[in-house]
Copies of this chain bind each other. A is one copy, B any other.
Amino acid sequence: MGAQPHLPGPHSHMNEAANVCEASKGGKRAGVKPSSSAAHSSQVHKSKRLKSDLLEASLGYEQTGPANCSKYKRYDEFKCWVCGDQSSGNHYGALTCEACKLFFRRHSSAIMSANSSSSSPTSSSSSASSSSNFAATSNISHCIQRNCQITLQTRSSCPECRYRKCIAVGMGLNRTTFGRHTSIQKSKYNAKCNDLFAEIMKLFVGLKENLANKLINLNDLNLFQLSNLVIPVKVLANPAGSSISSGHGSSVNNMIVNRHDLEAHLFRFYSDVVDLMAPPKQSLSSERVRKIPINILITFCLIFGYNLINDPSDSSAKSLAKSNFNLSTNNFQLKQILKQIKQIEQQFDTFAIRIKIIYFLLIMYTSFSMCSDQLDDYFLFAINNDEVNDIQRTFLDLLNSELDFQKNTVASTRVSLLLKLDQFI
């Protein structure tokens, strides 16, 4: 089964492996253009021209093809969202390699059978429980730090963290797809989008795991510190901290994070997004000040279920009480955001994390585009209700297209979502 005997003629069975590999590769350089236009011109005919054209085009620049282009590592530009290896396609709702595909199937079915046998009615949402009791239901050793980096080399060392990452990137046994892709999925430049998206995903997953070490216990706060809790206590009109955790399900819990810690952990991602979104001329001077606009922080906490506290030990005058960030006027917006988040979590199971990220990006981007001239302002944006409506309409479009994705076999929505992100580049 020699992989590279590139004679134009006898390619009866090799064509799938070969041309998928270089089709995705060919998009980078300009060599793909004449072939496609030629195919278009000759499209008027109805004989077998198309097939031969495709073969010719694929063979035209194949010879530079890397030797690692195996039949099962087709998408050399698409990395596995779990381990970063070359992915072999869309498996269970995520671009993964063959190894992670099989890993997820094995352990998902093992967990499902274990859950069904010990059918405890107290189990909460399926994904969360399956993710949480992974070590309990399977016979894998329990991970202690629970935030192992999953790479190509380390993916076999901690199955629990690997499985949790599979869940985090949205894999699910019911998210299977079948059959050939639609033509948009083959468009070459969604590869870049996938990379971008995977990058953002990685940032967020790591961010959330890192933040877990910095959480503050609610009971450790004194009254003065409680008065500095920014969200969601005041927004939700829960003056006492006792009933915070009962507020909004999994979204709003009593994970309290110091503002300084949050800024430190979020800043890398923040500056990356700013670099993506803002024009280079007004790009954030990254090293000047490691501060993040307060409304960005608030939005982040709202979306991802943290409670933000202004660091009491911070002696700077940046206390929220003295700031010009008017919480009351933004109350409506924040409530709207919370409403959207609830809707997300009802409709999407493990996929909610991705939606949240997209939502957050949308809000960030909109804030930048709204007030791009005030980029240096510490309080970045104060959008009005019309603009909130714009965000929500956009976001609802995204929701609908995600629903379409969930019920369709094709990953078209992901492509469109990523295309949407790709505009910022």
Q: Is B156's CB under 8 angstroms from A176's CB?
A: yes
Interchain CA distance A365-B15 in the complex, whole Å: 18
Contact partner of A412 among B20, B184, B419, CB < 8 A? B20
Contact mask A19-60 → B, CB, 8 Å, 1/0?
Answer: 110011001000000001100100100111111011101100
Q: Is B187's CB under 8 angstroms from A11's CB?
A: yes
Name which of A20, A53, A400 has the most chain B CB atoms within 10 A of its CB.
Answer: A20
A379, CB-defined interface residue at 8 Å: no
Name which of A17, A27, A57 has the most chain B CB atoms within 10 A of its CB.
Answer: A17
Interchain CA distance A365-B53 in the complex, whole Å: 13
Q: Is B279's CB under 8 angstroms from A189's CB?
A: no
Q: Is B390's CB under 8 angstroms from A51's CB?
A: yes
Contacts of A407 in B (CB 8 A): 151-153
Interface positions of A from 378 to 425, Cβ below 8 Å from B: 390, 393-394, 397, 400-401, 406-409, 412-413, 415-416, 419-420, 422-425
A99, CB-defined interface residue at 8 Å: yes
Oligomeric state, in copies: 2
Q: Is B51's CB under 8 angstroms from A372's CB?
A: no
Given A27-B40, A408-B152, check contact A369 B184 (CB 8 Å): no
Q: Is B279's CB under 8 angstroms from A46's CB?
A: yes
12 of the cross-chain contacts (CB-CB < 8 Å) are A4-B423, A16-B416, A17-B397, A17-B400, A19-B184, A20-B415, A23-B183, A46-B279, A50-B365, A50-B423, A54-B420, A57-B397
Q: Is A20's CB under 8 angstroms from B184's CB?
A: yes
Q: Is B179's CB under 8 angstroms from A24's CB?
A: no
Return the chain B residue nearest A151 by Cβ: B407
Q: Is B153's CB under 8 angstroms from A425's CB?
A: no
Interchain CA distance A8-B400 in the complex, whole Å: 28
Q: How far is the CB of A334 from chain B (nearest CB, A)?
A: 21
Q: Is A423's CB under 8 angstroms from B152's CB?
A: no
Contacts of A153 in B (CB 8 A): 174, 406-407
Interchain CA distance A19-B423 in the complex, whole Å: 14
Contacts of A408 in B (CB 8 A): 85, 152
Q: Is A70's CB under 8 angstroms from B27's CB?
A: no
Q: Is A424's CB under 8 angstroms from B390's CB?
A: no
Q: Is B369's CB under 8 angstroms from A50's CB?
A: yes
Contact mask A172-186 → B, CB, 8 Å, 1/0?
Answer: 001010110011100
Q: Is B425's CB under 8 angstroms from A1's CB?
A: yes
Interchain CA distance A70-B183 in the complex, whole Å: 10
Contacts of A423 in B (CB 8 A): 1, 4, 15, 49-50, 53
A3, CB-defined interface residue at 8 Å: yes
Q: Is A16's CB under 8 angstroms from B366's CB?
A: no
Q: Is B15's CB under 8 angstroms from A416's CB?
A: yes
